[in-house]
Amino acid sequence: MTYGDAVPNADLTTIAAELAVMAEGAERYRQRVADLGQMNLDGKHDDLLMAIHEADRALRTAQRALLRASKIVK
């Protein structure tokens, strides 16, 4: 499946709403990931903390992209 195949003649209002909801969800997950990154692991598991911080950045980037797309639709 490619982009645009699923919904012929899609309503832009619906698309904007869906994108906004997804951006909100990405922010909620990002906050949960960030909270994990604040846990005290007694200086151990630096590899885990790095992976958590990387996930935090990726979710922040995804949220921004979704918000940007929702603004384009409006």
Give the model confidence (pLDDT) of 17-68 as tens digits: 999 999 999 999 999 999 998 887 788 888 999 999 999 999 999 999 999 9
Say if residue 3's pLDDT is above 80.
no
16 in Cβ contact with 70 (< 8 Å): yes
Is pLDDT at 15 greater than 70 in this prediction? Answer: yes
Report the alpha-carbon distance of residue 38 to residue 66 in Å, rounded: 26
Amino acid at 47: D
| Sign, Cα dihedral of 43, 49, 50, 51 | positive
- Does the global pTM surpass 0.75? yes
